[in-house]
Amino acid sequence: MPQRPSEPEDLARWGAVDRYFGTLLGDSDAALDAGLRAAEAAGLPSIQVSPLQGKLLHLLARACRARRILEVGTLGGYSTTWMARALPPEGRLLTLELEPRHAEVARANLVRAGVSDRVEIRLGPASDSLAALLREAVPPFDMVFIDADKAGYPGYLEASVRLSRPGTLLVADNVVRRGDVVEAGSSDPSVLGVRRMAEVIAADPRLLATVVQTVGVKGYDGLAVAIVL
């Protein structure tokens, strides 16, 4: 079994480092902060990306000059806002959300942040929404961010590749699971989903990928990053 980082000592230090760089580099503003408060007040789980991770998604979207972004898992629209802000005026972001209450909160937050004109929220199971997009033969996306139920990651990844083009950037959150991903005997559906997704990536010659382990206010986890060849 992997050795876990000690908490709360390490978590407090990681959080302090996050806040230091966030304050220095500008990882938030009034609209983003208000969106987090609104999500908390509505009882949404506090499982959104951290401010620095949101800024990273923004930078990645700008770096790949994304005009069309697909997000699997909206929650309160925090990561949605970060990525939508990276789009050019004609850009569009489609985000998939299962829970109507989450979508309601996200819509209000997107309006507050001034990006609702470039974001569409689709309600329903992500697997159904992805299948519908494939049937609709929508134009390919330039960037995909997957941050939903981990058991569904293998299917979300495969559909996302089919909705992509050469050069599309794929990012999946929460793939390290505090190190539990290396526990071969785990029966945790989230761990099994992440492991299966990694196997799918490794077996797909169309994908070039890596994983970056992260620590911070969200604890110990990591991101999978891939490019469609």
Domain-located, residue 36: yes
The answer as to whether 191 is a domain residue is yes
pTM as predicted: 0.94
In a domain, 2, yes or no: no
What is the average pLDDT across 207-221?
Answer: 96
Predicted local distance difference test score (pLDDT) of residue 4: 55
- Inside any domain, residue 1: no
pLDDT of 98 higher than 70: yes
Mind listing the pLDDT tens digit for each residue in 160-186?
999 999 999 999 999 999 999 999 899
Q: What is the pLDDT of residues 126-163, one digit of tens each?
A: 999 999 999 999 999 999 999 999 999 999 999 999 99
Q: Which domain, by its residues, includes 91?
A: 9-228
How many domains does one find in the chain? 1
CATH classification at residue 220: 3.40.50.150
DSSP 164-198: --TT-EEEEE--SGGGGGG-TT---HHHHHHHHHH
Task: Give percent of the chain above pLDDT 70.
Answer: 97
Query: Would you say residue 48 lies in a domain?
Result: yes
Q: For residue 148, is it within any domain?
A: yes
Per the domain annotation, does 126 fall within a domain? Answer: yes
